[in-house]
Amino acid sequence: MSTESETPGGDLAGRHLVLGLSGGVACYKAAELARELQREGATVQVVMTEAAAQFITPATMQALTGRPVVTSQWDLRAPNAMPHINLTREADAVLVAPASADFIAQLAQGRAGEILSLLCLARPRERCPLLLAPAMNREMWSHPATQRNVAQVRADGATVLGPAAGDQACGEVGDGRMLEAPELRDELVAFFQPKRLAGRRVLVTAGPTFEAIDPVRGITNRSSGKMGFAVARAAAEAGAAVTLVAGPVALPTPRGVARIDVGSAREMLAAVLPLAPAHDVFVATAAVADWRPADVAAHKIKKDGSGAVPALTFVENPDVLATVARLPEAQRPWCVGFAAESEDVERHARAKLASKGVPLVVGNLGPATFGRDDNALLLVEADRTTELPRASKLALARQLVAAIAGRLPPGRAT
């Protein structure tokens, strides 16, 4: 049995980032962003424009990062008096958050009138990427000049993160809000993940199903959906276009993932089956109920005081994974099953591998992981079993995605 493991540490461990702040009220989010990036293991060097210092002080950002903040191209603390050169030579990326309309216009025109735009222009583009998080009024964002400038900076190689829609400081509502600090953290983490599934389409099911007994009660299980949502996020980080079909769970949708909510096993099959032929990979993480009540009461079943217990008759649910795995070869994605067992995980996973006719089944102990943020997995294939030792579900999902990418047959990219 082989073992695959992941290097410990935050998702940005070993990364050195330049965090640029241009003028805008969204500068207040930069304080939390700096902390979030550091929690993930990054070191953060803040560079601020003169306008940014009107919204948040350099002293605040220096206290949060433990590094002197650079605010001028004439900063003489560097021995060679060239901060615009030095700052990006050791950086893994430059993230400007907030990026104002004026700052984006400067970049689009190649202007370098102050330290932040100057270092963006002087950075070694082949190894120091530039990411921009726009923040501005909705009218400024939608203005043709801004849209031209955004298109130009994208064409010049910058990655634009957002903006989001919502309430704005001016009291208006619309596009132009800077993404929140946790969203930008996740975007940056995803940016650095290897794009092993670029050009692929991945379909994921997650969570339990709910089989109604009456309008109030039903049969379900303890699956939280966390593993499936982690797989969807990891696949999106790896560059795939991801569709997530989720049972009844209370989890936020991973950024960049298209989500379809369902309730029962039959609803899950109805959502999955038309989508499957358009996808390269199908990861059936959901804990689909094997049976459902044969009849659903029209109204809530009441106790009548007699002590009599209502009798329930069950019928078998459709098998979502097996149905997809039986599609004609030209329509069939590469299928991955999940086996949540209570004992003898490898034996049961191997039996499922044969009965479903899929190339890979992922086994785990359900009672030991339901609702938790960590897990341990077995990757069971016809000729081998690979152990993924206990780790966070996201770390395991990334390892699983890497394993899938390494096993995919060629020629299914869309």
- The residues carrying an active-site annotation are 170
Half-sphere exposure of 297 (CA within 13 A, CB side): 14
Comparing CA positions, the residue from 276, 285, 216, 292 lying closest to residue 249 is 285
3-state secondary structure of 385: strand
> Tokens at residue 123, please?
């950075």
Phi/psi for 142 (5° steps) reads: -80, -10
> Tokens at residue 370, please?
């339901």
d(CA 267, CA 283): 17
Phi/psi for 397 (5° steps) reads: -60, -40
Are 166 and 234 a contacting pair, CB within 8 Å?
no
| DSSP structure string for 70-87 | B--TT---STTS-HHHHH
Place of tokens 């998080």: 133
d(CA 280, CA 202): 6
Are 268 and 245 a contacting pair, CB within 8 Å?
yes
Residue 75 CA to chain centroid, in angstroms? 39
d(CA 47, CA 295): 65
Burial of 174 (0-12, 13-18, 19+ CB in 10 A): middle
Which ranges of 253-334 would DSSP assign to H, the alpha helix? 265-275, 320-325
Residue 72 CA to chain centroid, in angstroms? 36
d(CA 395, CA 398): 5
* Range 286-316 burial, b when 16+ CB lie within 10 A, else e: bbbbeebbeeeeeeeeeeeeeeeeeeeeeee
Q: How many residues does the chain have?
A: 414
Comparing CA positions, the residue from 249, 211, 213, 212 lying closest to residue 229 is 249
End-to-end CA distance of the chain: 34
CA distances to 95, 139, 154, 158 from 147, in Å: 20, 11, 11, 14
